[in-house]
Amino acid sequence: MTDTDRSSTGTLVLPVLRSPNAVALPEMVVTVALESSEARAAADAASDDQVLLVPVLEGSFARVGALATIENRGTLPNGTPALTLRVTDRAVLGAAHAGTGDALSVGATVVADTTTDETAALATRYRALAGALIDEIGGGRWKAALPDTEHPGALADTIAYWPELSFEQRLELLEAVDVDDRLRLAIGWAERALQELHLARSVRDEVNESIERDQREAVLRRQLAAIRKELGDDDGGVLDDYRARLDGLEVPGPARSAIAKEIDRLERTGEQSQEGQWIRGWLDSVFEVPWGERSDDHLDLVAARAVLDGDHTGLDDVKDRVIEHLAVRKLQRERGVDREAGRRANAILTLVGPPGVGKTSLGQSVADALGRRFVRLALGGIRDEAEIRGHRRTYVGARPGRLVRALVEAGTMNPVILLDEIDKIGADHRGDPSAALLEVLDPAQNHSFRDHYLEFELDLSDVVFVATANQLETIPAALLDRVEVIRLDGYTDAEKGVIARDHILPRLRARMGLAEDEVVIEDAAIDRVVGEWTREAGVRSLERQLDKLLRKAATSLATGARPAPVTIGADDLVASLGKPAPRDDLTARAGGPGVATGLAVTGAGGDVLFVETSVTDGDEGLLLTGQLGDVMKESGEIARSYLRANAERLGLAGLDRRLHVHFPSGAVPKDGPSAGITMTTALASLLSGRPVRPEVAMTGEISLQGKVLPIGGVKQKLLAAHRAGITTVIIPARNEIDLDDVPADVREALDVHLVEDISDVLDLALAAA
């Protein structure tokens, strides 16, 4: 039995010619090159001159092939043997059969086209659509084949002449053995093609109309300009003014090209159109940027240090960092070191400390020391990223971001910009401003800062950025990694007295118009105000109290109630300021068992906190109150676990009852591990009956083995202990290095104990039973 014989199931067994790149349909005549041994073997096996053309998609045979008759065997010009085939029918592929040699043979069932009652209507619809499409594109072979094709199935196959039809679509057409389905496919493709052509024509017509209108307007504007020139009414115009201003600016190449392009757009658009108004607004904003304007740095290091010392007392870390910056710039200039343009390695200083320590005013002092302009950007509460990067020009009312406006306000390209309250930036659905600052505060990237409104790059690498924050915890880690943190931990009482005499009082007298000898505040009065009316890390409250004293003295002078000079002594303060701020009685607060004094750092600086404990009947467990964070709650559980494990050695009883640990000031959120030894000491005091010595305060993290681990904020905590009248402080031994940052007078006034184990803490803190 030959390959074209019928099998026992009634199907034809035919040799297969693979067709990987084309789909042949009935009524087509195609030429197939026999490039492979398999193809040549299939041609040789076709003894009845019948083969099966099967499309191949992604290595797999199609479900339906094309039954074809060999009309001619020949050779291509390149010598490759080839067949000329006429496709007669569709054939559904069946099982594979053993072929001759390399030939592959499969069973195939020839499909006859059948019609339904709907077929005629579908054929009429398709013929109309195909005719319309042919009129649009010029049909070629499609135009010749369409009128002569009567059978609905063959009519649907003519859609294959549409040149935009993909291989997958042609394959889908071949596999549509149902005539109605085939017609629906052809109708859908023809309708989509017509819609695309009509849309393209509409867009093309609209574009042509717009171009013609623009050309007409351009010609009319040139004629109008010529008429004005003849009338002597030509004053250069706005466009000439823009071009002249551009020629006179030191603008980088990309920015200059963008500006020139917008001026040309304005000329084509016309000044009176809405788009022209937008372009003019953009150009006005661009020309407000102080291109090429720079302040010359003052490189006299002695004079710069004098400026910083004159404006601020203490803060040596910040002053040293500014002088280091000036020293590097001085050496670069003297030795001709050419820093790579646009990549200046300027550190971003971030001043972190409690309110009132002089972070914001220090930014002005840095600018004065450098000889640069100063601009302050208040970032607290900003939630819109566009405030930093600017708005897109497509928005109504769009404008540049705050950084560009800061350059305009400064009038130079290298000012000192203070980013105030960087830790209080918010984020919502409008964006995350802190993410926009990542590029600004990265010295390796800010040479190419792009404002959304300007739409070209600005070099901010020569700007000195100084940021301020009250706490580091709320600053995103990625942003914190880009800045150099300098901590300002607050002032001692002695430093506050110096600040009051040298800075605050002269400034307040000048503001009120008072001469220095008209109102005299004695040193003893200043010291008493510092010690009894203020207990903050900064000096804002101190300034308010001194302002109140001077205002009352000025009132006395203005009304004639007292002649000049008005002298204010320590005994006069209650009459002017009222009663002093009440102090915590440490002896009363920590007088009994179960109460310990701890040290903490808040957004307002160092602070003293108390830990109170009690034991009640009920289920065994630990209750923690006082609006505590998860870390502090975990420290309480660690303290309880350690005491349970060492209860016998420490002589503790009652750990099987319900323990309650409370931190007063419950409205203030608290978190962190540094209260671990304080909670352990308070519980040990409660369960042993030994009170904690009232003059002792402590800070440190505890481990399950009873080790005292290091913590942060030692300087702020010791300053708070000193202000509160505490004389003995317990800190982790590994924090000994931090004592170098504590002022000498505070270290001398405090008895600081360095401990490594909680047993040492209990020995030092607990009084005898």
What would the pLDDT profile of 743-752 be if each residue is shown by its tens digit?
888 888 889 9
Every domain range in the chain assigned CATH 1.10.8.60 = 493-577
pLDDT at 225 over 60: yes
Whether the CB-CB separation of 590 and 664 falls below 8 Å is answered with: no
Alpha-carbon dihedral of residues 390, 395, 397, 399, nearest 10 degrees? Answer: 20
What is the CATH architecture of 493-577? Orthogonal Bundle (1.10)
Q: For 301-487, which CATH class?
A: alpha beta
State percent of the chain over pLDDT 90.
3
Residues 6+ apart with CB under 8 A from 464: 325, 346, 366, 367, 370, 372, 414, 415, 416, 417
Q: Where in the chain is the domain with CATH 3.30.230.10?
A: 586-765
pLDDT higher than threshold 50 for residue 2: no
Taking the alpha carbons at both ends of the chain, their separation in whole angstroms is 115
Per-residue exposure over 384-398, b if at least 16 CB sit within 10 Å of its own CB, e if not? bbbbbbbbebeeeeb
Q: What are 271-294's pLDDT values in tens digits?
A: 566 777 788 888 888 888 888 888
Which residue is listed with tokens 């301020």?
Answer: 468
Residue 155 amino acid letter:
L
- Residue 590's pLDDT is 59
- Longest C-alpha distance within the chain, in Å? 137
674 is catalytic: yes
Cβ atoms 673, 666 nearer than 8 A: no
Note the pLDDT of residue 7: 37
Name the band, by pLDDT with cuts 50, 70 and 90, for residue 754. Answer: very high
Q: At the fourth CATH level, which superfamily is domain 12-111?
A: LON domain-like (2.30.130.40)
Share of the chain above pLDDT 70, in %: 90
* Residue 1 pLDDT: 33
Q: Residue range 566-585: average pLDDT?
A: 77
Helix (H, G, I), strand (E, B) or coil at 667: coil
| Active-site residue, selected from the candidate residues 674, 685, 688, 715 | 674
**How far apart (Å, rounded) are the C-alpha atoms in residues 66 and 90?**
5
**Rounded to an integer, what distance in angstroms lies between the CA atom of residue 532 and that of residue 101?**
110
353-383, pLDDT tens digit by residue?
A: 888 888 888 888 888 888 889 999 888 877 7
Q: Which pair of tokens denotes residue 489?
A: 């931990």
pLDDT at 528 over 60: yes
Residues 701-711 have a mean pLDDT of 90
Q: Would residue 708 be called left, alpha or beta, if left means φ above 0 and alpha means ψ between -120 and 50 degrees?
A: beta
For residue 548, what is the DSSP state? H
Residue 717 appears among annotated catalytic residues: yes
Q: What is the pTM of this model?
A: 0.59
Does 428 have pLDDT greater than 80?
A: no
Q: Output Rg (C-alpha) for the chain, integer angstroms.
A: 44
Mean pLDDT of the chain, nearest integer: 82
- Mean pLDDT score, 187-201: 85
Model confidence at 430: pLDDT above 70? no
The CATH number, out of the four listed (3.40.50.720, 3.20.20.60, 3.40.50.150, 3.30.230.10), of the domain defined by the range 586-765: 3.30.230.10
User: What was the pLDDT predicted at 235?
Assistant: 42
Query: For position 666, what pLDDT does the model report?
Result: 66
419-428, 705-714, 749-758, range with the lowest pLDDT:
419-428
Give the DSSP H/E element, type plus range, for residue 173: helix 167-175
Using the structure block, give the residue that is written with the tokens 């042949």.
Answer: 24
